[in-house]
Structure 1
Amino acid sequence: MTKRIAIISEHASPLGSFGGTDSGGQNVYVGQTAKQLAALGYQVDVFTRRDDAALPELMLWHNGIRIIHVPAGPPEPVPKEDLLPHMGSFGRYVLAFARRQQRQNEGYHLIHANFWMSALVASQVKQHLGIPFVVTFHALGKVRRRHQGQADRFPNERFAVEEQVVEIADGIVAECPQDRDDLIQLYGAKADKIHIVPCGVDLSEFWPVPKAQARATLGLSMQERVVLQLGRMVPRKGVDTVIEAIAMLAQQNLPTRLVVVGGESPLPDPEKTPEIGRLQALTAKLGLQDRVTFVGQRQREVLKYFYSAADLFVTTPWYEPFGITPLEAMACGTPVIGSNVGGIKFTVRDGETGYLVSPKAAGELCDRIAFLYRHPDVLNLFGRQALRHVTRQFTWPKVASALASIYESVLAKTAAPDVSVDTTEADLAQMEARFDAAILALRQSRRLLSGDILAVSRRLSQCFSRGGKVLVCGNGGSAADAQHFAAELVGRFQCQQRAGLPVMALTADTALLTAWANDVGYNDIFARQVSTFAQPEDVLVVISTSGRSRNLIEAVAAAKARNVHCIGLLGGSGGDLLTLVDEAICVPSPDPQRIQEVQILTLHLICEWIEDDLQRSDRPVQRSLASVPPAKAIETPRPTASVSASQSG
């Protein structure tokens, strides 16, 4: 049965331009998730406020998506801080529309609300029609007020609305670990209701353009150092910090051009975008008129040229719920220096894909930029690693698959039994629903993880061919999976003739585990063994449904200290382990049981591949490396002429 999803985004339409005061990451998030959900087979309607009289009430968009422009307030742009008085009429319209859909037997199965006012509407619809909803807040009022103080123009009613939504929502999507922590600490959200799903990047929209071509397109000199700042032009984005750092670079004999993209119009108009006026005044005060270029708003199809033309992308907001622009920059092979806040500290790997700096710290920012300009080999390495990092972990298909798993989990939990049917029939229907959830997890994993499984299988084959061994560990059910995996490879999986392969399950020595946990501490039980047994040619495999187990994190740290390659078999958002391991297979589901089911299949697929690989070799273990296809990161695809519609247990 095709499921119908209503996406509510009261102020951020997927049709909106990027870089304006109220246009940015949420517009992209809504558009991309809608496209990818439709590609997965959902019927999707997007409700957004009508802000232009020329817009039709209903229009068809990509993949059959319907965009409903809700007549609430004047048909013209209204600052989102002033939209709450119009949410009554917005909610009544959505409720009436949803009722008509029900009368036509095409009612919505679930609502995904984006932002707190959309969640207010979704909660009203749930109250009247019983439709469950999940919410992505994108920003939290209490966090915003903490950082902006009186500059925050949202009404105080926001706090009460958000608290109510947190209580009654059927699921909450946090975009990064900091977002999850804030929801729990500031709003008392139940941890089991929160699922971490990051934002993504469209690899058919952003890819590395050769620097010479990108700069020629934009009229930038190849002889200049170029730093890019791109996004909404509001004070909290901290563009003034970047300008101050540019002034410091000039004092260090490192003159650098700063290109600033964003605003309410294609020209840098201070009247339409007051923040540009403030920044231009600062530029003049610092004598940087010839070093800072404001270009105004630009369409998304040309942004890859800006990202690719820059040596560095810099974003230094005071706070940031997530931040999509660092992902876009990394997808173009450009290193990122960003504030050590919110989602940025989740997506930027400090010292690997760029650097994290304190907000409002121009001196610290200047030092990091200067270091990279003085060490171009590090700058180039960061660019390559940034591209590999974002293509592995942050793509919109992975985001949509994780969201779909959350939807199905919510629907399975909220489905009320039909009292009109026989109890056995109802029980069988619920059993079939559970099979459907497992099948969905398998289907999504096949689509998203096949390349990762192949890369890990090749990596393990390489390890054995070099005479190395594999150490594997996990907790609970994952401990059993670790021992299962070791038994299949030390013993035999399908191949009857091969020799045993050296795999150690660190969960198997119960005497050591209990003694060390009792005498020293449970957090070090795996790290102690890794430090004792691991050699540089070995591989450590950690298995976890949540990615947050401290003993696994310590095991990875111990392996890194011995230059041991680390692989994570994870689930959901991947947790803390996702950014620590060298390679990851992350099952796109929020449910531990679904994650474990896919993980067991994954381990079997790896065993099967390794045995096949050994059979293809003349010498099953001590073979030439030339016979093993190299493990490598997934390459960024070049887009075709038509742009395609673009993870706690």
Structure 2
Amino acid sequence: MNKTIALISEHASPLAMLGGVDSGGQNIYVGELARQLATLGYTVDVFTRRDDPKLPIEVQWLPDVRIVHIEAGPPKQLPKETLFQYMDAFTESMEAFMTRQPKRYTLLHANFWMSGYVAMKLKERLGIPFVVTFHALGKVRLMHQRETDKFPVERCDVESQIMQAADGIIAECPQDEADLIQLYQADADKITMVPCGFSPHEFHPIDKAYARMLLDLHPTRKIILQLGRMVPRKGIDTVIQALAQLRGSAIDAQLVIVGGEYEKPHLHADVEYRRLMEMASVLDVADAISFEGRKNREQLKYFYSAADVFVSTPWYEPFGITPLEAMACGTPVIGAKVGGIQYSVANGKTGFLVRPKDPEALARKLELVLKNDDLRIYMQHNAIKRVNECFTWKKVAQQMDEVYRGLTAAQLDNANDDKQVIAGAFQEAADIFRLSADSLTDTVLRAGKMLAKTFAKGGKVLVCGNGGSAAESLHFSAELLGRFELPNRVGLPVISLMADAAMLTAWSNDVGFDDIFAREVEAYGRPGDVLMCLSTSGNSPNILEAMDKAKQLGMVCVALLGNDGGRAAAKGDINLVVPSSSTQRIQELHLHIIHLLCTIVEQKLEDYSAKHQASGLSSLIQAVDLPYQQNGKAKHHAKQKSHIFG
């Protein structure tokens, strides 16, 4: 299969410095996605506008990643709001370059609306399918920026045209997906949610004292970090106002602000810096604020690690990569409850969410985090765990690979090549099995051992799911309540919460479906028991409420999930997240994992039984007999008890 693709990013090149007005998350997104796609066997060309006459047309950035600079407008830096007039020239130059290449491009992946326009025109001319990640939507921007928005008035209409023409649309978070559908009436079947990510090699915890020493920051003061572009919508003024309110709380705090056009901000050249400095002076906190200016990527992990808390309170944010990077360094995040931040930050676990433009609420959360060492340690642990489980660039690329494969499979289907479509589906399934084997083997083994120990200690397992996952939950209970591979053992206490049809229909009809599983967990669950939840999205309300109830009862939560794990990933003690965005592939892997868990449980319980048989009645036999004893069937023949496993 030809795996040559073009990433289009008209104004955001992976080679650009970060932190400027038009340099930020999209530069990182495009560069890291290209890097990780190359490890999956893709050859990637990144097409971006030539904004410096000294730049060569081609730069071999990595062995399988090339940066191609396209002539479109004058070769100098221009505000991105002025670039749309050059996109037809961009299209012409890019088409000329593509037609000279020895291999045909399989797919175009556009980033931002202007790149989407280019991809739409190239599809018309060359017949190459395209997927688009908007990174920001014109209608959302207008809601917040209004008359200060300088993009062309036709932007929103062009975005609608792109959505109609696109073969696939990438939403970066649930809010992004909702905006695409509600504001633009985008076809929901075209949309796949794939988040942004971070690199564990680039961002990881560093000793706080060491980081502060390197950065010449105070060794004991509480440090609040704000990092990103220095533009009004990032809400830096909200952080300064919150800092002023902290002055009465006896917290010795310093606000460190990283980002901007310059290595050191200049009052005469940077309007936003001047505005913020004037505000700080008026609020009498200028002495507690350090403007560090623009920093390179290698320095950022030291700033994240040096901070006690990271703050990101923009008015709106399509996703937001900096909160991921901060959490990867073990720093709690207080973020605005907008866009992707409300998705990536687990409120109360990895940090807190507050309303944008609300310095009072921000100050309260800052005081809570900065005064409570135990809370910061708790959030540090949760933050590192969450981002590494859900938000690495490797996982992002794997999910994007799924999208690309789906589009190429659709192409084959349109060409009526049925055999190739079937072969592609088998290959897709094989790839997901391989990726799952790489990422889930240790977790599956841990989950199986934990289930076996639960049974051995007299505990039970409750299992639930919706739709196809409901059928798989019944399948799991049947295998262990009945038998899987070993023919002569007693039934193990597994209760499928889907089994009581009368309860399900009556409660759902009379009360509601959201707490139907939580109700059954409340009835059957006991401390030490296990709740096993199956959900392809990880966002089903009845699954989430059941997990909350299980936690209240002191139960262990095992979650079989897919995609990025959804909200359930933050609630599970053991998460088995299939690295796929395809519901079918996820359910196929869930069934395979269920069979693996059954195998591990039987093997481990057989091992336990063998160890205890020589001493007569084993604790294991007593444990697996417990349900029968509770029903008045305590009298079993010794022969039966000594042959539970044949």
Which of 519, 522, 538 does residue 513 from structure 2 map onto? 522
Q: What do the CA deviations read for 1:330-366 (whole angstroms, capped 9, x no partner)?
A: 0001000011111111011111111111111111111
Distance 1:461 1:269 in 2: 64
Give the secondary-structure state (helix, strand or coil) at the position aligned to 1:415. helix
Which of 606, 609, 630 does residue 597 from structure 2 map onto? 606
The answer as to 2:469 corresponding to 1:478 is: yes
Letter in 2 for 1:477: G
Q: What do the CA deviations read for 1:543-593 (whole angstroms, capped 9, x no partner)?
A: 122334333233223323323332221222434433443442222222221
The answer as to 2:382 corresponding to 1:385 is: yes
Which of 427, 430, 433 does residue 418 from structure 2 map onto? 427
The answer as to 2:428 corresponding to 1:437 is: yes
Which of 262, 265, 274 does residue 262 from structure 2 map onto? 265
Structure 1 residues 133 and 355, CA, compared in 2 at 3 Å: closer, same or farther? same
Q: What do the CA deviations read for 1:10-69 (whole angstroms, capped 9, x no partner)?
A: 111111222111111111111111111110111111111111222110111124211101
Letter in 2 for 1:542: C
Distance 1:372 1:355 in 2: 9
The answer as to 2:345 corresponding to 1:369 is: no
Letter in 2 for 1:52: D
Give the secondary-structure state (helix, strand or coil) at the position aligned to 1:522. coil
Distance 1:67 1:271 in 2: 35
Give the secondary-structure state (helix, strand or coil) at the position aligned to 2:97. helix
Structure 1 residues 374 and 69, CA, compared in 2 at 3 Å: closer, same or farther? same
Give the secondary-structure state (helix, strand or coil) at the position aligned to 2:310. strand
Distance 1:352 1:254 in 2: 23
Which of 89, 105, 108 does residue 108 from structure 1 map onto? 105
The structure with the larger Rg is 2
Q: What do the CA deviations read for 1:401-454 (whole angstroms, capped 9, x no partner)?
A: 0010011111111325558xxxxxx33222212212212222222233334434
Letter in 2 for 1:529: E
Per mean C-alpha deviation after superposition, the further-off stretch among 208-217 and 470-479 is 470-479
Structure 1 residues 519 and 32, CA, compared in 2 at 3 Å: closer, same or farther? same
Which of 471, 489, 492 does residue 501 from structure 1 map onto? 492
Alpha-carbon contact 2:531-2:550 (below 8 Å) kept: yes
Give the ranges of 4+ consecutive aligned residues of structure 1 lying more than 6 Å apart after TM superposition.
none
Alpha-carbon contact 2:334-2:351 (below 8 Å) kept: yes
Alpha-carbon contact 1:236-1:317 (below 8 Å) kept: yes
TM-score, normalised to structure 1, is 0.91
Per mean C-alpha deviation after superposition, the further-off stretch among 38-47 and 453-462 is 453-462
Distance 2:150 2:114 in 1: 15
Partner residue of 2:548? 557
Structure 1 residues 454 and 20, CA, compared in 2 at 3 Å: closer, same or farther? farther
Distance 1:619 1:5 in 2: 60
Partner residue of 2:524? 533
Distance 2:221 2:513 in 1: 54
Alpha-carbon contact 1:331-1:391 (below 8 Å) kept: yes
Matches within 5 A, 1:310-321: 310-321=307-318
Alpha-carbon contact 2:412-2:420 (below 8 Å) kept: no
Alpha-carbon contact 2:194-2:396 (below 8 Å) kept: yes
Which of 533, 536, 560 does residue 542 from structure 1 map onto? 533
Partner residue of 2:350? 353
Which of 561, 576, 582 does residue 591 from structure 1 map onto? 582
Per mean C-alpha deviation after superposition, the further-off stretch among 296-305 and 607-616 is 607-616
Distance apart, 1:498 and its partner CA:
5.2
Letter in 2 for 1:257: Q
Per mean C-alpha deviation after superposition, the further-off stretch among 514-523 and 80-89 is 514-523
Per mean C-alpha deviation after superposition, the further-off stretch among 166-175 and 511-520 is 511-520
Structure 2 stretches of 5 or more lacking a match? Answer: 621-646
Alpha-carbon contact 1:398-1:448 (below 8 Å) kept: no
The answer as to 2:341 corresponding to 1:344 is: yes
The answer as to 2:306 corresponding to 1:309 is: yes
Distance apart, 1:470 and its partner CA:
1.3
Matches within 5 A, 1:121-140: 121-140=118-137
Structure 1 residues 258 and 418, CA, compared in 2 at 3 Å: closer, same or farther? closer
Distance 2:71 2:100 in 1: 17
Distance 1:451 1:146 in 2: 47
The answer as to 2:184 corresponding to 1:175 is: no
Per mean C-alpha deviation after superposition, the further-off stretch among 231-240 and 67-76 is 67-76
Partner residue of 1:422? none
Matches within 5 A, 1:52-63: 52-63=52-63
Q: What do the CA deviations read for 1:102-123 (whole angstroms, capped 9, x no partner)?
A: xx3x111111111000110011
Distance 1:570 1:474 in 2: 11
Distance apart, 1:373 and its partner CA:
2.1
Distance 1:541 1:506 in 2: 10
Which of 201, 209, 221 does residue 212 from structure 1 map onto? 209
Alpha-carbon contact 1:406-1:589 (below 8 Å) kept: no
Give the secondary-structure state (helix, strand or coil) at the position aligned to 2:220. coil
The answer as to 2:64 corresponding to 1:64 is: yes
Partner residue of 1:188? 185
Partner residue of 1:199? 196
Give the secondary-structure state (helix, strand or coil) at the position aligned to 2:257. strand
Structure 1 residues 253 and 524, CA, compared in 2 at 3 Å: closer, same or farther? closer
Structure 1 residues 462 and 8, CA, compared in 2 at 3 Å: closer, same or farther? farther
Distance 2:277 2:578 in 1: 47
Partner residue of 1:628? none
Alpha-carbon contact 2:390-2:565 (below 8 Å) kept: no
Alpha-carbon contact 1:265-1:272 (below 8 Å) kept: no
The answer as to 2:330 corresponding to 1:333 is: yes
Distance 2:414 2:316 in 1: 44
Letter in 1 for 2:474: Q
Distance apart, 1:290 and its partner CA:
1.8
Distance 1:392 1:179 in 2: 21
Q: What do the CA deviations read for 1:275-304 (whole angstroms, capped 9, x no partner)?
A: 112112212222222210001000111111
Distance 2:445 2:209 in 1: 35
Structure 1 residues 63 and 585, CA, compared in 2 at 3 Å: closer, same or farther? farther
Q: What do the CA deviations read for 1:151-194 (whole angstroms, capped 9, x no partner)?
A: 11111111011111111211111111110111111000122211
Structure 1 residues 595 and 97, CA, compared in 2 at 3 Å: closer, same or farther? same
When the two structures are aligned, how many residues end up with a matched partner?
A: 614
Alpha-carbon contact 2:8-2:109 (below 8 Å) kept: yes
Structure 1 residues 441 and 11, CA, compared in 2 at 3 Å: closer, same or farther? same
Give the secondary-structure state (helix, strand or coil) at the position aligned to 2:515. helix
Distance 2:371 2:413 in 1: 64
Distance 1:378 1:260 in 2: 24
Alpha-carbon contact 2:2-2:106 (below 8 Å) kept: no
Partner residue of 2:628? none
Letter in 2 for 1:185: Q
Alpha-carbon contact 1:125-1:131 (below 8 Å) kept: yes
Point out which structure has higher relative CO (alpha carbons under 8 A, 6+ apart): 1
The answer as to 2:238 corresponding to 1:241 is: yes
Letter in 2 for 1:543: L
User: Aligned residues: percent identity?
Assistant: 51
Alpha-carbon contact 2:454-2:529 (below 8 Å) kept: yes
Structure 1 stretches of 5 or more lacking a match? Answer: 420-425, 624-649
Partner residue of 2:98? 98
Q: What do the CA deviations read for 1:575-624 (whole angstroms, capped 9, x no partner)?
A: 4433443442222222221111111112222223333433444359957x
